[in-house]
Amino acid sequence: MYSFEVDKPGSVEAAVAALQIEEAMALGGGQTLIPTLKQRLASPSRLVSLAGIAEMKGVSAVDGVVTIGGGTPHATVAREAAGAYPALAALAGNIGDPAVRNRGTIGGSLANNDPAACYPSAALASGATIVTSSREIAADDYFQGMFTTALHEGEIVTAVRFPVPQAASYQKFEQPASRFALVGVFLARFAEGVRVAVTGASEDGVFRWSEAEEALNKEFRADALTGLAIAPENMIADLHGTKEYRAHLVSVMTKRAIRAVG
Amino acid sequence: MSEVRIVVNGVERVGVVEGRTLLSGFLRDGLGLTGTHVGCDTSQCGACVVHVDGQAVKSCTMFAVEADGRSVDTIEGQAAPDGTLNAIQQAFQDHHGLQCGFCTPGMVMSAAALLKENPTPGEAEIREYLEGNLCRCTGYHNIVKAILAASGQDVAAIAAE
Amino acid sequence: MPKDHGIGASPKRREDVRFLSGTGNYTDDINLNGQAYVHFLRSDVAHGRIDRVDTAAAAAMPGVVRIFTGADFEGVGGLPCGWQVTDRHGQPMAEPGHPVLAQGKVRHVGDPIAAVVADTYEQARDAAEAIELDIEELPAVVDMKAALRDGAPKVHDDLAGNLCYDWGFVEENREAVDKAIKEAAHVTTLELVNQRMVANPMEPRVAVGDYNRATGDHTLYTTSQNPHVIRLLMGAFVLGIPEHKLRVVAPDVGGGFGTKIFHYAEEAFCTFAAKAVNRPVKWTSSRSEAFMSDAHGRDHVTKIELALDAENNFVALRTDTHANMGAYLSTFAPSVPTWLHGTLMAGNYKTPLIYVNVKAVFTNTVPVDAYRGAGRPEATFQLERVIDKAARELGVDPVALRRQNFITEFPYATPVAVEYDTGDYNATMDKLIEIGDFAGFAARRAASEAKGKLRGLGVNCYIEACGIAPSNLVGQLGARAGLYESATVRVNATGGLVVMTGSHSHGQGHETAFPQVIAEMIGIDESMVEIVHGDTANTPMGMGTYGSRSLAVGGSAMVRATEKIINKAKRIAAHLMEASESDIELKDGQFSVAGTDKSVAWGDVTLAAYVPHNYPLEDIEPGLEETAFYDPSNFTYPSGAYACEVEVDPETGRVTIERMTAADDFGNIVNPMIVSGQVHGGLAQGIGQALLEGCVYDENGQLLSASYMDYAMPRADDLPFYTVDHSCVTPCTHNPLGVKGCGEAGAIGSPPSVVNAVVDALQSAGRDVTHIDMPLSPARVWAALQG
């Protein structure tokens, strides 16, 4: 790693101020950032740790909305959201491994927007609101492609508000080595309609499978997807799967999600 | 450079570290607690697992300054002061749950975290919990068996020595 | 009743206490006063000409002690190859130089170009980035067949091409085999890949060099399976340090699986640099660095043809293999696809005619060498896959086809130059069918199908040649080293023993198992025996631990030395009891005179040896310490039968291992607990190869599977509980313990049964799938299902 200092501000305001320094970077749980730093793929002058900001931690459920502080570790979400939003809790409880879940945070995951990360699919499928240090961003506007989001320099994800659907399921098919999603499908069924978000699959990062949503809004059963297919062109191809395989898995995982929510 | 105060295995330790000093580096190089091992650089192998404030973390993926003011438990603090192995350690020895020993400290620390959360986990729960701990020697058979045994469950029916 | 001590007992491992309490002593735990750290600047291109390496700016960076480049090693030897293979035409293999630091060219991603020694690791890394480097990238060769084509880029400009050797075995059989295949009633042909693997011991490699300017003594601490081999190779061939001035210490070693056999550039560098900078120099590999600097394994591309007569008897076998050597010849690389592979092609079967052709090829990839099983898994995989395919083509039961062709009489001389001493392949097959509950398979398949899954059962046999080997034989085959093993048994005055062995454990539990043998021989408690290993300063010259040889060869040396001890002790006892030497018996730690009630205890005799007051000094020297070197007269031949049951999800192609069963014949067993553990670990590695692991380069020689994010290591939830058995015992006839070795069996025996099982599952659903190349990832299985 290159040399840097670590700041540990106690408030969002102080963190935002600290991030004004040239080449400063926010440090969430560090589960992606620290391996990146070890490879010397980033050279921050200063890391601003968000771990000590109490206002960014915790899970609450009020009026059909689950709000998760941006600095909340996955393990806490898995535990504390289990009652209010079981599919989200299950997703959080299957990110990485237990030790990673004790450190990695939802804010860090959403800020990084890895194309194979789990959380972006939940945020997008739930129609979540990403609350930052300066504004609120609808999930539909937030994700802008692989590792790209609507966040500005120095902007911090302080909370995420998830409207709780009537029913939801996350189906993850793991990449055998990293255990990230080779394809992950989050399906959320609201009174207003069904939202299907897909992670792991696309070169454009997480996306909504709108054709599937339309079909399911007409008829909510796995058979409704018959004849629907994702075009392989924009899918990711790598060691672990071809474009065609990923496109196929999107269908399979979506059907499984439909069956899981009944 | 900044000063950190970390309670390690019940004793407050003071050190001066760089921002980039990992907790694993502080334990190994700063304190000479070389039982915590480093087997990868992508936060996957789990040889470095310790407990911070009672929770399992990968000490190679956390900075020492982030542990300032907190309590860290390592493999060196698991046995009784007279050296008597704790129940998990003893089960690993009884059931041959280790061979080269390199992954073992992380395995024991992860097993301890699991049994704290779930005192009688089933085989599948154990295997799933160990997702972040790689072992290249044992094929995991005897590790899983040892953890079942450490939780007081009967392992007589599990095949092989 | 299981025994509670001695041979056949399973005492708890004594080494576990330190490993479980965090007090092991691995190489990275060693820090010497004043040590500096080295970081290697490695090539990021697969093939290139080094036009300029300018270290001036980097050398002025903070903390830099000195920067080394290839130029600093021009007068120094290269890394030697320990085995010379002679080709079909009687010519020696092509043997390129292998400099410690690259000279003129880089030949694979990871090839070290410069080494920065600095006060801290990060300073060394900072300075490495400041080295100015001009490398003209050259076209790379990655694919072996492409590398052999005319006009292919040459990995080594001074060689005729990229062919290392074209080996034929047994060359005299070639025409007869061709004829038999042409005339056979049925020929089954299979083309397959045995993919490149990365051994991945959990402890990455580490080297710490130290030099004492006052005495001229060098010390190297290193993660090695065989410190004496490193001392000999590095001292004699690379650095020119006589062995009495060079000590190599391998303390606790965190797994090896072959990849810690070889002598590596980093070891030579740290030893060399410690003298040059007059400070200890330490290198600790990161895992990312390990992927591009540890020798890889396997990487064979094979076509195999099995010919059968009208009664389904095997009549001939022909194989044609391309074996990847990588960019340089690693220490024992040439032996792996040849003598450790071709000699095993008979397997468990009485095929009368066999011809093996192997073309070893240089490519712009990391060197390839022995990985758990080394050559024998490659032989077993192709043979057991082609037999399975033949059975399916002929519509016969795969087990029956194997049984029909089993070797049943021993000793048996194969047509590929080895003689199996003992075995009972029907016995292990019977055991397999019993413990694998083959009778229940149909019901289990039905249950899987009811869930929408496919279920398959795959079976295979294996034989391996291990406990290597007779030195005079391997010398004829090209080994540039002996392959004996050694032990010094030192008995202390108060009766305790210390065994200094040339074997070295990297997880096998020698400190526990070896004392069981001595305890049995003398009739004392195991706690009276201590094992010393891993340090050339205090152990006799030995060849180390690999090839399942520690007990078969090292243990035999220990037995021989202990026999000498007992013989001498009996003479002393005879004197003490004023009896004839021939009447002395040793049992339960007591020497007695046959037919009398006279006896003296072991401790009385050992005390007399060191306090020789009442002692026949004119006839017997004082003291009780003996050394033996044991050189076996043959390999040992463990064998077994394995079965795998898989479930395949037809929607995703995902394969899960439902049952994995191993019935092995390891000869006599010293510690059943440790033996089972060895099999378990081997099974996981074999399943890992079959389903998960694979080292992949792109066409430019960039390593795509360069970390655990892309190289799929088997994890706990990828694997089931295994069923293993080693109650079928045909003792080895030529070593004193009757043992055969168990370290590699699991990795050799499991991949074919996994693949056979998946093929069985797919065929059960009517799919015309006869082979899928490993690893059988979900993507590949799904693709196979699409037809």
pLDDT in tens, C644-693: 999 999 999 999 999 999 999 999 999 999 999 999 999 999 999 999 99
Which pLDDT value is given to residue C469?
75
Per-residue confidence band for C467, with pLDDT thresholds at 50, 70 and 90: confident
Q: What is the ipTM of this complex?
A: 0.98
- CATH 3.40.50.410 fits domain C35-139: no
Contact C779 A40 (CB under 8 A): no
Work out the average pLDDT over C726-733: 97
- What is the number of structural domains in chain A? 3
Residue B79 scores a pLDDT above 90? yes
We report the CATH number of the domain holding residue A97 as 3.30.465.10
For residues A210 and A239, membership in a common domain is answered with yes
For residues A214 and A251, membership in a common domain is answered with yes
Topology of the domain comprising C297-469+634-786: Aldehyde Oxidoreductase; domain 4 (3.30.365)
Supply the mean pLDDT for chain B.
96
State the chains in contact with A (3 or more Cβ–Cβ pairs under 8 Å): B, C
Work out the average pLDDT over C465-480: 88
Which pLDDT value is given to residue C787?
81
Per-residue confidence band for C597, with pLDDT thresholds at 50, 70 and 90: very high
Which pLDDT value is given to residue B161?
44
For residues A193 and A229, membership in a common domain is answered with yes
Tell me which of A178-182, A258-262, B140-144, C753-757 is least confident. Answer: A258-262
Per-residue confidence band for C468, with pLDDT thresholds at 50, 70 and 90: confident
Per-residue confidence band for C4, with pLDDT thresholds at 50, 70 and 90: confident
Q: Give the Cα separation of C634 and C197 in Å (integer).
A: 29
For C512-526, write each residue's pLDDT tens digit: 999 999 999 999 999
Which of A3, A38, A239 lies at the smallest CB-CB distance from C704? Answer: A239
What's chain A's length in residues?
262
Which pLDDT value is given to residue B159?
64
Name residues 115-154 of chain A within 8 A of B (Cβ).
none
Between vectors from CA B154 to CA B48 and to CA C643, what angle results, nearest 5°?
80
Work out the average pLDDT over C136-164: 97
- The residue type of A260 is A
Percent of chain C with pLDDT over 90: 96
Kindly state whether B93 is in contact with chain C, defined as any CB-CB distance less than 8 angstroms: yes
Kindly state whether A179 is in contact with chain B, defined as any CB-CB distance less than 8 angstroms: yes
Work out the average pLDDT over C50-69: 98
- CATH number for the domain running over C484-630: 3.30.365.10
Residue C108 scores a pLDDT above 70? yes
**Dihedral angle sign, alpha carbons of residues A212, A215, A221, A224:** negative
Which pLDDT value is given to residue C721?
97
Between vectors from CA C116 to CA C113 and to CA C122, what angle results, nearest 5°?
120
Is residue C606 within 8 Å of residue C494, measured between CB atoms? yes
Residue C413 scores a pLDDT above 90? yes
For residues A69 and A130, membership in a common domain is answered with yes
The count of CB pairs under 8 A between chains B and C is 199
Please give the full DSSP string across A45-61, using - where no structure is assigned. Answer: SEEEE-TT-GGG--EEE
Q: Give the Cα separation of C784 and C777 in Å (integer).
A: 11
We report the CATH number of the domain holding residue A185 as 3.30.390.50
Of the CA atoms within 13 Å of residue C181, those in its CB half-sphere come to 19
Which pLDDT value is given to residue B160?
52
Instruction: Using DSSP, state whether C299 is helix, strand or coil.
Output: strand
Q: Give the Cα separation of C777 and A240 in Å (integer).
A: 8
- Within 8 A by CB and 6+ apart from C68, the residues are C101, C114, C115, C116, C117, C269, C273, C276
Chain B closest-CA separation from residue C174 CA (Å):
41
Structure tokens at A236: 């990711």
Kindly state whether C506 is in contact with chain B, defined as any CB-CB distance less than 8 angstroms: yes
For residues A64 and A22, membership in a common domain is answered with no
Instruction: Using DSSP, state whether A145 is helix, strand or coil.
Output: coil
pTM of the model: 0.97
The DSSP secondary-structure symbol of C82 reads: S
Q: Give the Cα separation of C344 and C388 in Å (integer).
A: 18
Kindly state whether C664 is in contact with chain B, defined as any CB-CB distance less than 8 angstroms: no
Work out the average pLDDT over C118-135: 97
- Kindly list the residues from chain B whose CB atom is less than 8 angstroms away from the CB atom of residue C29: 28, 34
Supply the mean pLDDT for chain C.
97
For C684-713, write each residue's pLDDT tens digit: 999 999 999 999 999 999 999 999 999 999
Work out the average pLDDT over B136-145: 98
Contact C692 A176 (CB under 8 A): yes
Residue spans of alpha helices (H) in C651-725: 672-687
For residues A32 and A66, membership in a common domain is answered with no
Q: Give the Cα separation of C11 and C17 in Å (integer).
A: 13
Topology of the domain comprising C10-34+205-284: Aldehyde Oxidoreductase; domain 4 (3.30.365)
- Listed residue (C363, C368, C382) closest to C301, CA to CA: C382
Instruction: Using DSSP, state whether C341 is helix, strand or coil.
Output: coil
Q: Matching CATH topology for C35-139 and C484-630?
A: no
Is residue C273 within 8 Å of residue C117, measured between CB atoms? yes
Residue C1 scores a pLDDT above 60? no
For residues A189 and A237, membership in a common domain is answered with yes
Residue C309 scores a pLDDT above 80? yes
Residue C2 scores a pLDDT above 90? no
Map tokens 């009517």 to a residue. Answer: C766
Supply the mean pLDDT for chain A.
96
- Listed residue (B95, B84, B103, B74) closest to B151, CA to CA: B95
Which pLDDT value is given to residue C481?
86
Kindly state whether C31 is in contact with chain B, defined as any CB-CB distance less than 8 angstroms: yes
Kindly state whether B9 is in contact with chain C, defined as any CB-CB distance less than 8 angstroms: no
Between vectors from CA C320 to CA C316 and to CA C322, what angle results, nearest 5°?
160
Structure tokens at B27: 């334990």
Structure tokens at C719: 């694997």
Sketch the domain layout of chain C as residue ranges: 10-34+205-284, 35-139, 297-469+634-786, 484-630
For C33-44, write each residue's pLDDT tens digit: 999 999 999 999
Tell me which of C201-215, C411-425, C461-475 is least confident. Answer: C461-475
- The residue type of C379 is A
For residues A157 and A176, membership in a common domain is answered with no
Domain that holds residue A87: 56-163
What domains does chain B contain, in order, with CATH numbers?
2-75 (3.10.20.30), 87-157 (1.10.150.120)
Instruction: Using DSSP, state whether A196 is helix, strand or coil.
Output: strand
